[in-house]
Amino acid sequence: MARRRAAEKRTLTPDPRYNSELIAYMINAIMGRGKKATAASIVYGALEDIQSKLKDEDPLAVLTQAMENIKPKLEVKSRRVGGATYQVPVEVGPKRQTALASRWLIQYSKGRRGMPMRRALSMELLDAYANQGSCIKKRDDTHKMAQANKAFAHYRW
């Protein structure tokens, strides 16, 4: 554990097009090797695809609802007690919920082979918006693991 003072959290500047911190976070999460313009074109392109598929829905609202559907409420952390390691269920904080949801979204979007990232991201977002797909399955698996290890909840500290 660090003995110095805690690092101060930087505030994220909202993206210029939608004025949303969530979109800025997604752009930064997708960005690789400092190519922010490429990451921005992927995210904005995915939102345009969502706009064209769902005419009456706002793409920012679809993104927000999809992220809310993906966010896990519980996860398990390993705790070593004596000689045994227990999987202890813990509640997930709001920042970590967003981080996990975006990480899973990007991971499963990259896993869709044979299509551009923009289209894969829009399809994953639409699946998550409809409460189905790989990200929702990952969230449910995380919740099931926490539920199965509920007996070790007293090791939380």
pLDDT in tens, 68-84: 999 999 999 999 999 99
Question: Cα–Cα distances in Å, from 5 out to 1, 2, 11, 12, 63?
Answer: 11, 8, 18, 21, 36
**Domains of the chain from N-terminus onward:** 21-155 (1.10.455.10)
What is the DSSP code (8-state) at residue 10?
P
pLDDT tens-digit series, residues 123-153 = 999 999 999 999 999 999 999 999 999 999 9
Whole-prediction pTM value?
0.93
